[in-house]
Amino acid sequence: MSSGKQDIVAILDFNGYHRLMSEKVTGYLLLVIGLIIMFFSFINMIMVFTNKAEPVSLFNISSDSSSGSLNINDIISQLQQNNQEVTNQTIPQPKIDILPPEVLSKTLNISSHFFFITFVLGFGYKLSSLGIQLIRPINVKLKSPTAPPQV
């Protein structure tokens, strides 16, 4: 009978040890995966900002005036339509772009890439933080068993 009890205690000890080691292995795995994600996303962001890599092209604004690019002719024509009752004379204006569409497109693409990489960096940080919490042992320090202080 005592042999069966010892076998059960040995199995329970092995399961406790296995569970503890499994948490540590998982913690180290999460830590390494999170650090790799953060490292590569940081390198990607640096490469995009130094113009060694292109950001993902989410915005593609063409240079046609019909596509809705912001130019001064559209603004002037709207103002002239409002003031046409006062003067019946229209003044032809040259096409002047306030902001070139290529610059606007590149700025929007870099900004969206920055926000996406920031999200990926945060995800890597959370994974690493969870891994560290699993690696770190939980130590509870109890005060000495004395009587509680009198108030």
- 69-126 per-position pLDDT tens digit: 555 666 666 666 666 555 555 566 566 667 788 888 899 999 999 999 999 999 999 9
Number of domains in the chain: 1
User: pLDDT value at position 67?
Assistant: 46
- The pLDDT, as a whole number, for residue 27 is 92
Within a domain: 151 = no
Average pLDDT score, the chain: 77
Residue 86 lies in a domain: no
- Whether residue 87 lies inside any domain: the answer is no
- Cα–Cα distance for residue pair 126/3, rounded to 1 Å: 47
Tokens of 111: 């900004």
| Residue 148 lies inside a defined structural domain of this protein | no
Q: Report yes or no on 150 lying in a domain.
A: no
Q: Is residue 77 part of a domain?
A: no
Displacement of CA 57 from its chain's centroid (Å): 18
Domain of 9 in residue numbering reads as: 2-63+100-135
User: Which of 126, 111, 114, 115 is closest to 38 using CA atoms?
Assistant: 126
pTM above 0.85, yes or no: no
SS3 97: strand
Does residue 126 fall inside a structural domain? yes
* Cα distances (Å, whole numbers) of residue 68 to 61, 73, 74, 104: 9, 12, 9, 12
Whether the predicted pLDDT of 2 surpasses 60: no
